[in-house]
């Protein structure tokens, strides 16, 4: 991880560079800067931990009775795209889909915590555009796919929505 920083009279700018992940931060005031920096560092640590776990899982192999080697690359995966409230660019990950991906498993992928409403895109003949976002609330519910992907909107619950 490499830290680059510059300071002007009213603003502190920091770029976190972790390989291909580069996150520019530009905030007014030191307290907001510290809070945002802490949140992003926790997010990077979570991603690094998941990445390490995925590498461990993908390098594991098992032997069948015939001593044939089966790698975990043969396991069926589904792409998951999700947008947080106000974000233009989605987060993307790949999740094993055996058994099917449930809302509970999806929630474990989220890097931000708090009260959210979760809407998932599904095909629908009821509307002209051919797709709708459906709210799903039960953790054991199987998530719908749209064009072989799970696409979600993660909306923070505000006092106005309650």
Beta carbons of 102 and 139 less than 8 angstroms apart? yes
> What is the per-residue pLDDT for 139?
93
CATH entry, 75-156, from 2.60.120.10, 2.40.240.130, 3.40.50.10880, 3.40.50.1580: 2.40.240.130
Domain coordinates of the chain in residue numbers?
2-61, 75-156
Per-residue pLDDT tens digits for 103-140: 999 998 888 888 899 999 999 989 999 999 999 999 99
Per-residue pLDDT tens digits for 9-54: 444 444 444 444 444 544 456 677 778 878 888 888 888 777 777 6
HSE, CB side, 13 Å, CA atoms: give it for residue 104.
Answer: 6
Chain position carrying tokens 């999740």:
95
Q: What is the mean pLDDT of the chain?
A: 74
* pLDDT tier at 83, thresholds 50, 70, 90: very high
- Exposure string over 72-88, b if 16+ CB within 10 A, otherwise e: eeeeeebebebbbeeee
Q: pTM for this structure? A: 0.52
- When pLDDT is averaged across residues 58-85 and rounded to a whole number, the result is 58
DSSP H or E segment with residue 81: strand 77-84
């Amino acid at each position: 991880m490499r830290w680059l920083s510059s300071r002007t009279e009213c603003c502190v700018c920091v770029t976190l560079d972790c390989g291909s992940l580069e996150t520019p931060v530009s905030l007014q005031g030191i307290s907001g800067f510290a809070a945002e920096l802490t949140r992003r560092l926790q997010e990077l640590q979570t991603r690094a931990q998941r990445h390490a776990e995925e590498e461990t899982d993908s390098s594991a192999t098992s032997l069948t009775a015939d001593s044939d080697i089966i790698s975990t690359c043969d396991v069926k995966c589904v792409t998951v795209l999700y947008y947080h409230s106000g974000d233009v660019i989605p987060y993307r990950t790949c999740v094993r889909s055996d058994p099917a991906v449930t809302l509970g498993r999806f929630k474990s992928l989220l890097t931000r915590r708090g009260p959210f409403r979760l809407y998932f895109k599904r095909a629908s003949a009821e509307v002209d555009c051919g797709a709708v976002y459906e709210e799903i609330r039960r953790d054991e519910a199987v998530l719908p796919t749209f064009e072989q992907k799970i696409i979600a909107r993660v909306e923070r619950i505000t006092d106005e929505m309650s």
